Amino acid sequence: MLPKGNGPAVVLEKLVKRFGDFVAVDQVSLEIPRGEIFGFLGPNGAGKSTTIRILCGLLGPTSGRATVAEFDVATQAEDIRRNIGYMSQKFSLYDDLTVEENIVFFGGVYGVKPDILPVRRDYVLKMAGLEDRRASLTRLLSGGWKQRLALGCAILHEPPILFLDEPTSGVDPIARRNFWDLIYQLSAAGHTIFVTTHYMDEAEYCHRIALMYGGRVIALGSPAELKRLLGEGHLLYLESSDLMGSMTALNGLPEILDVAVFGGGLHVKVADNRQGEAAIHTALDAAGIKIGRLEPITATMEDVFVSLIEHEEQSAREEKSAA
């Protein structure tokens, strides 16, 4: 486990990574305590993968500093790799081996001592619910079972810190929920979990979340804290006969604070529900647009994500215009 002491599991101090003139990671500072489930969100190209590669000891920083399990990423990469587990969305399993053979193989890769391996193997089989499938060929497992096996293989050497890169991609909702139950168990046992995900509902399961954009962390906090960044106001969900026409009709109205597309409808932010609903009915009636559904809803992490990214993109456009 982590070296003795009460220091955080992961620390980043003004971390920078450049590739030529391109800045992939820009002055990122984070501190992740032991046992926390930390979510890392952001659009493609935000700098998440580059940051994770640095933290896993696979890529050196251009400047700044980072420690993982109290080891420096620039000078102690081998120590870091011995103290972390890593699971990617492709699971990195061998399909032509059985469940048990995969566990034994990765036990050897991670340097688990032969006298300890049977105990760790049995623990992984039980934790993942794979005891009855230990002799099954891995290629015959469903995505959810492969996911559990991959997680089990990643913790064979009892790493204090786990990096999970899109771990639930491509599996069904029930398997995703069961997988998060396992993550909570590991967190309760003292493991620190660093997870990237593109499922906004999964972000709700994290203790804290960092949202990256353009190589920078633009928001950091618990799901509840990030939702408060949306500010005052209420959300309405609107379905209509003309989605884009509805956006045009509502934008600029004094009762409407913001409008964004969500799925087959719109999320409309208003200062007051009653006044907002009345303004929507009036504006869409005047535009000849029929309302199919209009009701109050609770803000989600997707609302936070869209709002913050749109704000960053608007600021970038304004800076470019000013220049």
Residues 151, 163: contact at Cβ < 8 Å?
no
Average pLDDT, the chain: 90
Distance CA 133, CA 131 (A): 5
Beta bridge partners of 10: 32, 68
Instruction: Please name the residues in contact with 225: beta carbons below 8 A apart, sequence gap of 6 or more.
Output: none
- pTM confidence score: 0.82
What mean pLDDT is predicted for residues 155-180?
Answer: 86
- What is the pLDDT, as a whole number, of residue 1? 47
Show the domains of the chain with their CATH numbers. Answer: 10-226 (3.40.50.300), 231-298 (3.30.70.100)
How do residues 101-160 score in pLDDT, each as one tens digit?
A: 999 999 998 899 999 999 999 999 998 899 999 999 999 998 889 988 999 999 999 999
Torsions phi, psi for 212 (to 5 deg): -105, 145
Question: How many whole angstroms from its chain centre is CA 157?
Answer: 24
pLDDT class of 163 with cuts at 50, 70, 90: very high
How do residues 188-217 score in pLDDT, each as one tens digit?
A: 988 999 998 877 888 889 999 999 999 999
Tell me 138's DSSP state: G
Tell me 137's DSSP state: B
For the cut 80, the answer to whether the pLDDT of residue 316 exceeds it is: no
What mean pLDDT is predicted for residues 230-239?
Answer: 84
Distance CA 102, CA 149 (A): 8
Whole-number Cα distances in Å, 269 to 48, 236, 259? 29, 6, 6
Q: Considering the chain, what percentage of its residues have pLDDT values greater than 90?
A: 60
* Ranges 51-65, 223-237, 299-313, most confident: 51-65
Q: Report the alpha-carbon angle 31-44-84, nearest 5.
A: 40
Distance CA 304, CA 201 (A): 12
